[in-house]
């Protein structure tokens, strides 16, 4: 009988330690998810450099230059949704998505704000 009790408490402890290991795995997983998701929220200047700067820094292919306020003021009259859609579908010289493979509408909006200043 005492053997049985010992066995039961032992396996109870085991279950707890398994649970702890499991909890450890879960929290490690959640932590890495948090790291990943904060890493994917790249800041706008970095995103700009990686995707749009090739053309919009130098004005290559006649792209409106970053910081050319007069030009961007005219462009922005089209309204932000139209500009975002323009980038997504591409324009005459601009490749669809502006070389940003995983930009979302919100990213484009921020990128356009950034390059128009
Ligand atoms: C390969 C060169 C290139 C890249 C990369 C590029 N663009 Fe452009 N972009 C252009 C050119 C050229 C124009 C001028 C319109 C045209 O001729 O297609 C333009 C125009 C624009 C306009 C004005 C559109 C309008 O309605 O007048 C916006 C907004 C814009 N780009 C945003 C972006 C954003 C945001 C990125 C990065 C995610 C980007 N572009 C990346 C070449 C580029």
pLDDT digits (tens, 9 = 90+) for 7-39: 667 766 776 665 665 565 556 555 555 544 444
What is the CATH classification number for the domain harbouring 89?
1.10.760.10
The parent domain of residue 90 ranges over: 42-117
The whole-angstrom separation of Cα 69 and Cα 74 is 9
pLDDT the model gives residue 55: 96
Tell me the pLDDT tens digit for each residue of 87-108: 999 999 999 999 999 999 999 9
Asked if 37 and 60 sit in the same domain, the reply is no
Number of domains into which the chain is organized: 2
Ligand 1 centroid – CA 50 distance (Å): 14
pTM of the shown model: 0.74
Query: What stretches of 41-104 show up as alpha helix (H) in DSSP?
Result: 44-51, 53-56, 69-76, 80-89
Ligand 1 centroid – CA 98 distance (Å): 6
Asked if 50 and 60 sit in the same domain, the reply is yes
Token duo for residue 30: 């959640």
Asked if 71 and 22 sit in the same domain, the reply is no
What are the distances in angstroms from CA 21 to CA 25, 29, 34?
Answer: 6, 12, 20
Mutate to test the pocket of ligand 1, among 47, 49, 91 (most ligand atoms within 8 A of CB): 91
């Amino acid at each position: 009988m005492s053997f049985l009790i010992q066995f039961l408490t032992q396996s109870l402890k085991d279950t707890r330690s398994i649970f702890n290991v499991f909890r450890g795995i879960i929290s490690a997983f959640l932590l890495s998810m948090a790291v990943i998701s904060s890493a994917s929220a790249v800041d706008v200047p970095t995103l700009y450099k990686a995707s749009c700067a090739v053309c919009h820094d130098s004005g290559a292919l006649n792209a409106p230059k970053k910081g050319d306020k007069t030009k961007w003021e005219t462009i922005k009259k089209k309204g932000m949704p139209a500009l975002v859609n323009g980038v997504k579908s591409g324009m005459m010289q601009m490749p669809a998505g502006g070389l940003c493979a995983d930009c979302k509408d919100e990213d484009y909006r921020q990128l356009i704000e950034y390059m128009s200043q």
